[in-house]
Amino acid sequence: MKETRSRKRKREKHGKPQNMASASSKITKSSSNFLDKMRARLSGGHFRMINEKLYTCTGDEALDYFKEDPSLFDMYHTGYQEQMSHWPEQPVNIITQWLKARSSSLVVADFGCGDARLAKNVKNKVFSFDLVSNDPSVIACDMSNTPLDASSIDVAVFCLSLMGTNFPSYLEEAHRVLKPSGWLLIAEVKSRLDPNTGGADPKMFSKAISDLGFTSTLKDFSNKMFVLLYFQKKEKETSTRKGIEWPELKPCLYKRR
């Protein structure tokens, strides 16, 4: 249909500013999208850097690292939660279910608790340990040296937290604080315990823990992202701790998304 002169005049009068407004709103939107993307990329980069640091230093070095700048801990956990949001299942939920199926009188120590999700979701008394405490319920320490008494705990949990190069000392600490027959529950990133992808031999890892004074009760490799290894502390002290052959656990480095 042919446009009348008066319509054309109206369109030219009113149409142009409208188009300009929508063009400038498009520019604002796309530049804020761009800034959001840049921010996400930057924080993803920071997360990967802190993550690599935690996997390549000892626990006390990691403690000093966060003491110098506690904001790095929040940065790490923002990135970690982003990564976890892509996992179909979270190991902390499986451990939560395991605890819920048992007596709530079991006393738990969560080694490397992160945001203390485990403590928040069970009725048990949970001692939550991490390098930084952002919550009054979390005790800040290097978990190779907790303030717990010897033989005072029923369940020790390491959910994706065997990060430091001195990880055997975390398991030794768990052995110290666990009661005889107490449970040691480990969830670890699958690639770290998969020889096909350059990871450690899970049999060697499990044997080292048994040599420390535990009996293996469950090995679950069914999940794509993580393995579950459960143990019970032996009734009698058998380990000398010396001569245990620990495999090297490779860092879990997350890909850029």
Residue carrying structure tokens 């949990």: 157
Binder to ligand SAM among 44, 79, 114, 168 (CB under 6 A)? 114
Helix pair angle (202-213, 167-177), 10° resolution: 40
Grouping H, G, I as helix, E, B as strand and the rest as coil, residue 55 is: helix
CA-CA distance, 245 to 132, in Å (whole number)?
Answer: 31
Binder to ligand SAM among 106, 119, 163, 184 (CB under 6 A)? 163
CA-CA distance, 212 to 245, in Å (whole number)?
Answer: 10
Instruction: Sketch the per residue contact string, 32 through 61, with ligand SAM: x for CB under 6 A, - otherwise.
Output: ----------------------x----x--
Asked if 143 interacts with ligand SAM (CB under 6 A), we say yes
Binder to ligand SAM among 96, 124, 128, 161 (CB under 6 A)? 161
CA-CA distance, 116 to 121, in Å (whole number)?
Answer: 9
Asked if 168 interacts with ligand SAM (CB under 6 A), we say no
Q: What burial class does residue 130 get, using C-beta atoms within 10 Å of its C-beta: 0-12 exposed, 13-18 middle, 19+ buried?
A: buried
Instruction: Sketch the per residue contact string, 74 through 113, with ligand SAM: x for CB under 6 A, - otherwise.
Output: ------x-----------x-------------------xx
Cα–Cα nearest to 189, from 84, 82, 109, 110: 84
Asked if 227 interacts with ligand SAM (CB under 6 A), we say no
**Least distance (Å) between residue 164 CB and ligand SAM:** 5
**How many chain residues touch ligand SAM (CB under 6 A)?**
19
**How many CB atoms are located within 10 Å of the residue 191 CB?**
17
Provide the residue type at 69 as one letter. Answer: D
**Least distance (Å) between residue 140 CB and ligand SAM:** 8
Region from 100-108, 153-161, 210-218, 238-246 binding ligand SAM, contact rule CB under 6 A: 153-161
CA-CA distance, 181 to 64, in Å (whole number)?
Answer: 34
Binder to ligand SAM among 44, 50, 62, 175 (CB under 6 A)? 62
CA-CA distance, 216 to 233, in Å (whole number)?
Answer: 9
Region from 128-136, 197-205, 222-230, 231-239 binding ligand SAM, contact rule CB under 6 A: 128-136
Asked if 229 interacts with ligand SAM (CB under 6 A), we say no
**Least distance (Å) between residue 28 CB and ligand SAM:** 37
**How many CB atoms are located within 10 Å of the residue 223 CB?**
15
Which pair of structure tokens corresponds to residue 9?
């005049």
Nearer to ligand SAM, 113 or 227 (CB): 113
Per CB under 6 A, residues contacting ligand SAM are 54, 59, 62, 80, 92, 112-114, 117, 129-131, 142-143, 159-161, 163-164
